[in-house]
Amino acid sequence: MARLASTSVLIALLATCASVQAQQANQRQAGSPAQVMSSIPADSVTITHWYKQNVYDPNDNKIGEIEDVLVDRSGKATGLIIGVGGFLGAGEKDVAVPFNAVQITNKNNNKWYLVMNATKDGLKNAKGFKYDRNAMTWVPEEGSTTGTQRPGNR
């Protein structure tokens, strides 16, 4: 009889623990449902307007090309990686600039145009970065304080 009572208590205890764990799992998964937009905000532009686009100085000279857009954990764009110099990727250097350092305008009412208040030489002398595929992040080039160029594409 005591054995039956012990088994019953053990089963009840296990059932209670399982029930609590299931409730905790549901609470973690639950929350406010994802929001869906019924329209696109008027001042929005797509990432296509930035990624792999040329960047120009105020005198309309090409500085480089956007190689990557950096986004923080909250989803806000915080920086840009710009490839500067080189020919077909050889000798090109990647530098990081704040996202707000590049302005987007509409040139000739047809094409989006990226402008930065900098020169190609100024960016060539900036600290270089390389993409670390294992860490999946941009890291400073070894020995790069200024003026170091990368040997080829990432």
- Taking only the tens place, the pLDDT of each residue in 88-128 is 667 789 999 999 999 988 777 677 789 999 999 999 999 99
Q: Evaluate whether residue 62 is within a structural domain.
A: yes
Q: Evaluate whether residue 11 is within a structural domain.
A: no
Q: What is the pTM of this model?
A: 0.68
Range of the domain at 112: 48-140
Number of domains in the chain: 1
Q: Which of 65, 77, 78, 79 is nearest to 154 (CA)?
A: 65
Q: Evaluate whether residue 124 is within a structural domain.
A: yes
> Would you say the C-alpha torsion 47, 51, 54, 58 has a positive or negative sign?
positive
CATH number for the domain harbouring residue 52: 2.30.30.240
Q: What is the pLDDT of residue 84?
A: 94
Q: Evaluate whether residue 32 is within a structural domain.
A: no
- Taking only the tens place, the pLDDT of each residue in 72-90 is 999 999 999 999 987 766 7
Q: What is the pLDDT of residue 19?
A: 53
Quickly list H helices, the chain: 2-29, 120-124
Region 44-70: what's the mean pLDDT?
90
CA 61, 76, 121: angle at the middle one, nearest 5? 25
